Structure 1
Amino acid sequence: MTDYGHDLHFGTFITPTNADPQVPVRLAQVTEDAGLDLVTFQDHPYQPSFLDTWTLLSWVAARTERVTVAGNVLNLPLRPPAVLARAVASLDLLSGGRAALGLGAGGFWDPIVAMGGTRRTPGESVEALDEALDVIRGIWDSGERRALRVEGRYHQVVGAKRGPEPAHDVPVWLGAYKPRMLRLVAAKADGWLPSLGYMKDGDLARGNAVIDEAAEEAGRHPAEIRRLLNVNGALAPSWRGFLQGPVEQWVEELSGLALQDGIGTLVLATDDPQLIQTFGEEIAPAVRELVTRERAAAGTAPAATRRGERAIALRRPGIDYAGIPASLAPTAVEPGDRAYDAVRHNYLRSGAPGLVLRPRDAAQVADAVRFARSQDVPLGVRSGGHGISGRSTNDGGIVVDLGALDQIEVVDEATRRVRLGAGATWGRVAEALAPRGWAISSGDYGGVGVGGLATAGGVGFLGRAYGLTIDHVVAAEVVTADGRVVRASSDENPDLFWGLRGAGGNLGVVTWLEIEAMELGNVVFSQMTLDATDVAGLLERWGHVVESAPRELTSFLILSPGRRGRLADGSDDQGPVAQLMTVFAGDDTDAAVEQLELLAAAGPLLGHQAYLLPYSGVVQAGDKQHRGGGDPAVRSGLVEHLGTATARAFEKLALSREAYFLQIRATGGAGNDVEEGATAYAHRHQNFLLSAMASDQSRLDAAWEATMAPHVDGLYLSFDTDTRPERLVDAFPEPTLTRLRQVKRAWDPDNVFRANFPVPPAA
């Protein structure tokens, strides 16, 4: 008996007939409606009575919402691997991670040759498939900066640009029967996909044995390779043969394939919609129930917890990998896993955590917190991974990635209250709210996660009109340090609710927040470039215009110090330049133009573009997968006004070239209408947030202290990597800090959540 412990998946294998091209599409929709996981189509490009399988897969992905789509299996000799790789990645991105790649070496050579393919021997076709896998994986690996080169005998790629990266770790399944192909499955694929009708008695066991031995030789655990199987059959009142009988017989025989032959994915070959419905609604749930019961009795370990020697060697000390909760093990990512590079980093900071846990609900978040606090390693919590400070990843620790908690739902139309999962991104939120004419101020980039920004502050493009994001949070669900799931609002756990709005990362893991949106149609978005030769003068003039402007206007300024070096005539190669990004929160273009003209007068105008568009066009959806890089040092400070002394100090910092990126964000406005003690974010009189980014923390600290420290009043913790204890009062001025330490003592006395600008609990 062989049971690898894979979660059971069920799907269909549909004929892509073109007699009525909508029939296979409808069968795919029946598959989804029946609750099945997967819909596949055979691929015979030389068959004129069939639809092109890849075109059909794309169409079906657009007409469904949940099921994974795959070829069963795609004909490699007629589909160049580099182009196929881009096609699969594109479909995966467009479908939200619902593509899988079933691939075959080719078998019907006469029609393949007739279509322009090259005839190959069985050995040559296996070698060509081996090379193709290197090409496909290489194209998907967009994190590798070098151009892709695969100089194979049958497939050559010489300097191809990599990408796009799929939305998720696309599994590759190979259709295989002979030993050499089975060994290739073990070495490079994620799954084995044969058809039972082509196999003799004992072939499943023999195939598993070959794969298992080859996997161990390659340093992989046999359970890393999913076993899929195409089956066919018919319902009948009584037994007439294998899978020829009543539902109860199907359940028993399919369960046997899972428990005795290690099959984790059962794919039914049929074009009968009634059989598909019965398979999904009656047979699959019963098989899952029976297999779960038998596995519990046998103590079968889930496949996700089994790692080969190659992966085990990369595990980090201080983590009990065998103790990972069962609820989290199937989606956990370790350094030896192929998905690791996609989850280890954040937007600007490289990471090398020992374990990434990916919970799907609050209960699993609680499991993650309880497990993490029992380990002797750092803990990071990630919502979107965009945080400049980089606290959502670490080296050798545990990261709890909330990306799957990405729901966006309206709770109350009248008050415009929406519930947002902590792992949702603000670009997606803006897209969802735009049709209603609603918006939430949310930073300046759509890839930012909801949880991080909506618990730290939220200085955004709508900030002067709307206020900080935290000012409109009305409730939250929180997993506490001891693993409880609680609700926080002005009526429930009000002290925790107070602390979450400004210091949420220090008090628990927020799983969702309810936020009241503002009514907002189109906005005017302006991108302006000004000559900043007179840095201080420009800053003063720009700051004065912003403070004097109606609250609808919020402007951010990015200062580029210019490049080093001189031209032959002794002039600078490139002088300082200021880039303004400005939003006027409304569609009154006359009023917007009047204010933009005042901004343009702050310095010599080099270029200007302005648009009337929805707010969702300003904060467009961004990538949730990050590759790190840069590992910047950052300092920040808040000021009430950009007066002469402050502007000259910032000019001095810019011209020192100790920072390669400098920014000023307008804040204030509606955010300053809130009382200082109303939230843990207490900076309610300042109008500007200044920040500088550099490569070296000590040099930036020295430059900042010499120039900006005498002029700033507080800091914005998401934009600061100097976490010395004496900086704590800059982030949380008294009496806020004293109150926050008391809240910390009540909710996290053991300081479990200490990665986010550590706040010591009160004694």
Structure 2
Amino acid sequence: MTTSLPTTPAELAGKIVLPDDRRYSSLRSTYTTTGRPAAVVLAESADAVAAALRLAREQGLPLAVRSGGHGLSGSATNNGGLVIDLSPMHRVEVLDRATRLVRIEAGARWAQVAQALAPHGLAISSGDHGNVGAGGLATAGGIGWLVRHYGLTIDHVRAVEVVLPDGTQVRADPATEPDLLWVMRGAGAGAGIAVAFEIEAIELHAIGFAQLVAHVDPAGETLRRWEAVIAEAPRELSTAVMLSSHGAATLAFITAVVASDDPATIQQAVQPLLDIGEVTVQQAHITAYSDLVSPAHLHPNTGQMPSHTTNGLLKEMTPDVARALVTASTGPTPTLIQLRSLGGAANDMDPEATAYAHRHQRTLIVASSFPPYDRKALSGAWAPVAEHVDGQYVNFESKPDADTFARAHPGPTGDRVRELWKKYDPDGVLRQPGAA
């Protein structure tokens, strides 16, 4: 028997994937969450997005929007509802090479973006994996491999093409829709569906890339020295640290990215990391940015990595925080702790300029657990760290709720986000946690 919806708009003919379609198994889920939607719409244009929104309203179907697939919250799929999949909209175009302005459709993955921009000597700081979708990142923040040199991805978004929940198509830029542009840069998921972005890229022909391993003492002094090095480092240097327990030892696997192809600049930036403790260098070389977010990352998302994740932003790596991080990574609940360096260009932006207000913290801490350990186990491991953090980043939270919203969008920023969500989505079609 052929599965069908009661009505199919003419604009969506051939674009609706139902459970009996052979494509359904590769489209139903995200990277972390297995979904069973009633239908997936492969949207090829803003008109198709508007038609899918109408269909969801008319049929009373729960709605999910997907630009990429990693989506840790699982909100990019659902059970029994409609998924609007933007993956057919993946074009990348250099609009003006002189001003480095590029147009990126929301369904593009960052591997595709990097590949398209590389021949022009341009790059955009993006997600740390090539399979991450442009739309989800560029509406929430964008703490990427070049964050201290470039800032957040949203900091360079100059315009957004949006389909509002009522189907209206709007260009949000400083001259025409400044409020919509503001909320789309940091809290876009509750205001409309971004279908394309105009983003200012940077000149970047190659990067320095190094991987190091440091032994971490029980008190976490190695982590404090890492933070001190980053605080004094040139902005070209951004790092990510993964803590791993190996028997009685804790190791920090450090990835260092230097936004330069000059060997002297790269060495000067990375060298101080060798002094944070007992450090060995696994590899160091100059490579293309597109190798860092490689096309090899482009894979189907089938719920293959179930996990629970939370995070917090940190102003200072105090002794108590450092000790708590080591304890969390070596405790009875196996917990993956990752640290991302901030500061530099990420903190240049006025906190009121976008819906991402966190412009004073030095570090993003991400904690994840994997089956058979559940959310409760993660919360227990995270609790000693949580009391020290200052804010949260929405893209690394697998169970967003009202408290998450308050930490991600504090004070007046949260008030304005809620006000604009109600303005652009009065019926709550895209309802997000914390909207009330």
TM-score by length of 2: 0.95
Return the letter of the residue paired with 2:419. Q
User: Would you say 1:605 and 2:279 are equivalent positions?
Assistant: yes
Aligned residues: 432
* Among 563, 580, 584, the residue aligned to 2:254: 580
Contact 2:140 2:395 in 1 (8 A): yes
Distance in structure 1 (CA, Å) of the matches to 2:268 and 2:202: 24
User: Would you say 1:712 and 2:396 are equivalent positions?
Assistant: no
Contact 2:68 2:131 in 1 (8 A): yes
Return the letter of the residue paired with 1:468. L
| Structure 1 stretch displaced more, 519-528 or 325-334 | 325-334
1:220-265 C-alpha deviation (Å, 9 max, x unpaired) = xxxxxxxxxxxxxxxxxxxxxxxxxxxxxxxxxxxxxxxxxxxxxx
1:360-389 C-alpha deviation (Å, 9 max, x unpaired) = 110011101111133334211111112222
User: Would you say 1:530 and 2:229 are equivalent positions?
Assistant: no
Contact 1:659 1:692 in 2 (8 A): no
* Among 719, 726, 733, the residue aligned to 2:403: 726
Distance in structure 2 (CA, Å) of the matches to 1:502 and 1:619: 22
* Among 478, 483, 490, the residue aligned to 2:162: 478
* Among 19, 39, 48, the residue aligned to 1:364: 48
Return the letter of the residue paired with 2:382. W
User: Would you say 1:620 and 2:297 are equivalent positions?
Assistant: no
Distance in structure 2 (CA, Å) of the matches to 1:717 and 1:659: 23
Return the letter of the residue paired with 1:680. A
| Structure 1 stretch displaced more, 325-334 or 440-449 | 325-334
Distance in structure 1 (CA, Å) of the matches to 2:299 and 2:155: 26
The alpha-carbon deviation at position 624 of structure 1 amounts to 4.6
Contact 2:355 2:409 in 1 (8 A): yes
Distance in structure 1 (CA, Å) of the matches to 2:27 and 2:234: 42
Distance in structure 1 (CA, Å) of the matches to 2:332 and 2:122: 41
Where does 1:381-420 land on structure 2 (aligned, <5 Å)? 381-420=65-104
Contact 1:506 1:744 in 2 (8 A): yes
The alpha-carbon deviation at position 472 of structure 1 amounts to 0.2
The alpha-carbon deviation at position 605 of structure 1 amounts to 2.3
The alpha-carbon deviation at position 535 of structure 1 amounts to 6.2
User: Would you say 1:658 and 2:333 are equivalent positions?
Assistant: yes
Q: 1:670 to 1:459 in 2, by over 3 A?
A: same
Distance in structure 1 (CA, Å) of the matches to 2:226 and 2:6: 58
Partner of 2:16: 332
Contact 1:561 1:660 in 2 (8 A): no
RCO greater where, 1 or 2, for CA within 8 Å and sep 6 or more? 2
Where does 1:464-543 land on structure 2 (aligned, <5 Å)? 464-534=148-218, 536-543=220-227
Return the letter of the residue paired with 1:752. V
* Among 288, 308, 325, the residue aligned to 1:633: 308
Distance in structure 1 (CA, Å) of the matches to 2:28 and 2:111: 22
Question: 1:360 aligns to what SS in structure 2?
Answer: coil
The alpha-carbon deviation at position 659 of structure 1 amounts to 4.2
Distance in structure 2 (CA, Å) of the matches to 1:374 and 1:633: 34
Distance in structure 1 (CA, Å) of the matches to 2:34 and 2:237: 35
Return the letter of the residue paired with 2:158. V
* Among 366, 387, 390, the residue aligned to 1:691: 366
TM-score by length of 1: 0.55
Q: 1:576 to 1:588 in 2, by over 3 A?
A: same
Return the letter of the residue paired with 2:62. P
Question: 1:528 aligns to what SS in structure 2?
Answer: strand
1:574-613 C-alpha deviation (Å, 9 max, x unpaired) = 7322111111101221232233222122232244201101
The alpha-carbon deviation at position 533 of structure 1 amounts to 4.5
Question: 2:386 aligns to what SS in structure 1?
Answer: coil
Distance in structure 2 (CA, Å) of the matches to 1:559 and 1:535: 14
Return the letter of the residue paired with 2:240. F
Question: 1:474 aligns to what SS in structure 2?
Answer: strand
Distance in structure 1 (CA, Å) of the matches to 2:219 and 2:427: 47
1:141-184 C-alpha deviation (Å, 9 max, x unpaired) = xxxxxxxxxxxxxxxxxxxxxxxxxxxxxxxxxxxxxxxxxxxx
Contact 2:76 2:83 in 1 (8 A): yes
* Among 345, 348, 373, the residue aligned to 2:29: 345
Return the letter of the residue paired with 2:380. A
Distance in structure 2 (CA, Å) of the matches to 1:591 and 1:410: 28
Gaps of 5+ in 2: none
Instruction: Name the % identity.
Output: 42
Distance in structure 2 (CA, Å) of the matches to 1:357 and 1:403: 10
Provide the aligned C-alpha RMSD in A: 1.6
User: Would you say 1:643 and 2:318 are equivalent positions?
Assistant: yes
User: Would you say 1:676 and 2:354 are equivalent positions?
Assistant: no
Question: 1:582 aligns to what SS in structure 2?
Answer: strand
Distance in structure 1 (CA, Å) of the matches to 2:181 and 2:349: 16
The alpha-carbon deviation at position 523 of structure 1 amounts to 0.9
Distance in structure 2 (CA, Å) of the matches to 1:590 and 1:534: 34
Greater percentage in helix: 1
Contact 1:535 1:576 in 2 (8 A): no
Greater percentage in strand: 2
Distance in structure 2 (CA, Å) of the matches to 1:626 and 1:542: 34
Contact 2:406 2:434 in 1 (8 A): no
